[in-house]
Amino acid sequence: MTGDRIGSAPQWENYSLEQAIKWYDQWGGYQGVIVIDAGYHPRLGIDASGGIEKKILLPENARNIIFNIAKEDHDGGFRAILIDQNGYQHSLGDIILKSGDKRQICYDISTLAGSRITLQAYAFGAGTDNSGCDSDAGKCCFEYIGIDSIEIKSSEDIFPIQEVNDAINPPDYLENNIKIIYASDILKNISYKNHVNYDNCVIKGDIDLEDNVIDSPLYITNSIFEGDINFKRTKFNNNISFYGSHFLNDVHFEESVFSRTATFTYVYFYGFAFFKNSQFNNDSYFNYADFSMDAYFSMCKFSGYASFLRSQFLGDSNFDDTEFQKYADFKESNFVGLADYSRAIFIVDADFIGSHFSDNLIFNESKFYTLKLNSISLDSDSELSLTDSGITRYDYSNILVDWNDIRDHLSYDEVVYLSLIRNFKDLGVFDDAYNCYYQYRRESQSIKPWKDLTKYVDILSGLSCGYGVRPSYPLAWSCSLVLFFGLLFWSQKSLQKSICPFMPRDVNNKISSSNKNERSSESISISEAIYFSTLIFFHTHPPAHWYPSGKWKFVVVIEDIAGWLFLAIFVVVLVNRIITW
């Protein structure tokens, strides 16, 4: 199967997506292979994942999709995703290939049979083999993945699928070379203080290490934990890594201490994830983690770099009362349930750039230096709450956000609105400051009772000048009134113009009797009426021989007063904008 190139290429000089994704006649032991490059190198600012995409109609009896993939040198990651007709992403899972691997990976797609889907296959930087590379380039060194073929099967006797917790099956689960490890063996190794290192395994049985101290490194990667996991009040004195693993049941890490680096990158939590009141004394990585149920990180303390980059929170995510002492990275993550950061403390930056929120996002009473909410997206019924947060209490706090992204989602709080207005002005984003102020005045007006006279003042202010920040409003009113009075004068034939303004008159300024039979005036045309209205509105004298008849002279006075009023409003609002700028 061939498809369109998608994703991004590593940011090498003169290196494009076309160069990162190529067709090879021979590669990795296969003939005719699409080879895809990727890389992840934080020090160089590289985070690239290339891929291919194809829109297909699945047969009604489709059951399995099979990928034949290969790796030549080093190691790297492969990811498969299906996007249904509603735009929902079904992650089929990730797999790490070692040097020289040739794999045939099968996934169950029977739930999508008969539908139109978009198939995406990516390579991603996930390797650990950095031989011949920079010392810290293990995830950005020869990360190429080769795709030989992609097949869709419908026969029931091909690649029978074992159900795993009603979820999309994890990668490697069905591979013939998978290793079976019993939890008792892991517990024995830990008790003997041995270095625990397992990869591509199924862990059978429960792991219960509550109130324990683990001094040796603990690496169980790309594996599946079938039993219950209990690390309550456990102290990890060395590095731990569950990279690419799948926990099929609830996991318990409450009140645990992670003294060294903790890696949960690409981990799938199919049950509840409990990390409440834990301490991460070094860097912690939850990049690309998938939390299928609620995730509890309440009252945690992250002393090092905390990364939740591109993670999926399908349940509620609880980070209330949590402290982040260094950079907290939640970029491009997806929050389906409630995202609660109430009373959280961010000593440095809290980065949520590009994240999506399907439910409410709460920062009540939180403290932060810079809260980055640029390019976030919120569902129509989602709310952003910043009540008593750092932006309302500390001059050094600021929020980087596009007003249009949060305009319809900010829960009303007068102090929050005024603080955001100041925040936008301090950042020099004056249009956002004006728009925020306008929204604040509208919200304030809407909650006032009708018996409150200030409500009527607000309505008048909003209609006439957009609460003092919309100079286009008085300008639009002026044009409308000019047109209105012009059409009124013309339709009522209330304006006359003298045909001969110098026609002889008597001592009482009346036309002399010798000229009474001659026509002395006529009605003006519609264009002349609008011209007359414009001159009156902008306080310019009309031609002397144009005059209103009867009581219409009082209407002319009213238009003249309205002109002075709206001109004054326009000047005041415009000067206010210029001074602020």
Per the CB < 8 A criterion, the answer to whether 404 and 436 are in contact is: no
- Condensed to tens digits (0 to 9), the pLDDT of residues 227-255 reads 999 999 999 999 999 999 999 999 999 99
Closest CA to 208 of 192, 184, 226, 224: 184
- % helix, strand, coil for the chain, step of 5: 25, 30, 45
Q: For 94-116, what is the mean pLDDT?
A: 80
Burial degree of 22 (CB within 10 A; 0-12, 13-18, 19+): middle
Residue position matching structure tokens 């889907």: 117
Residue position matching structure tokens 């609002």: 573
pLDDT value for 109: 82
pLDDT value for 43: 66
Kindly compute the dihedral angle of the four CA atoms of residues 71, 72, 74, 76, in this order, to the nearest 10 degrees: -20
CA 187 to each of CA 200, 239, 336: distance values in angstroms, whole numbers, following the listed order: 18, 17, 36
- Condensed to tens digits (0 to 9), the pLDDT of residues 145-179 reads 888 888 888 754 343 333 333 333 444 433 445 68
Closest CA to 207 of 242, 239, 179: 242
- Condensed to tens digits (0 to 9), the pLDDT of residues 278-299 reads 999 999 999 999 999 999 999 9
- Condensed to tens digits (0 to 9), the pLDDT of residues 304-331 reads 999 999 999 999 999 999 999 999 999 9
Region label for 299, one of left (φ > 0), alpha (ψ between -120 and 50) or beta (otherwise)? left
- DSSP 8-state symbol, 381: T
Residue position matching structure tokens 């709460």: 362
User: Is 378's pLDDT higher than 90?
Assistant: yes
Question: 430-447 and 414-426 are packed helices; what angle lies between their axes, rounded to 10 degrees?
Answer: 170
Closest CA to 63 of 140, 174, 127, 152: 152
- CA-to-CA distance for 9 and 268, rounded, in angstroms? 26
Closest CA to 427 of 390, 402, 406: 402
- Condensed to tens digits (0 to 9), the pLDDT of residues 502-518 reads 555 555 555 455 544 45
Task: State the first-to-last Cα distance of the chain, in angstroms, to the nearest integer.
Answer: 56
- CA-to-CA distance for 368 and 353, rounded, in angstroms? 15
- CA-to-CA distance for 145 and 97, rounded, in angstroms? 8
- DSSP 8-state symbol, 456: H
Burial degree of 155 (CB within 10 A; 0-12, 13-18, 19+): exposed
pLDDT value for 280: 97
Q: For 522-540, what is the mean pLDDT?
A: 78
5-19, 371-385, 406-420: range with highest mean pLDDT: 371-385
User: Is 407's pLDDT higher than 80?
Assistant: yes
- CA-to-CA distance for 223 and 363, rounded, in angstroms? 36
Per the CB < 8 A criterion, the answer to whether 349 and 372 are in contact is: yes
pLDDT value for 512: 53
Q: What would the DSSP string read from start to end of 332-366? A: T-EE-S-EE-TT-EEEEEEE-TT-EESS-EE-TT-
pLDDT value for 188: 87
Per the CB < 8 A criterion, the answer to whether 92 and 82 are in contact is: yes
At 337, which amino acid appears? G
- DSSP 8-state symbol, 238: S
- DSSP 8-state symbol, 110: G
- CA-to-CA distance for 110 and 58, rounded, in angstroms? 9
- φ, ψ of residue 457 to 5 degrees: the values are -65, -40
- CA-to-CA distance for 304 and 230, rounded, in angstroms? 24
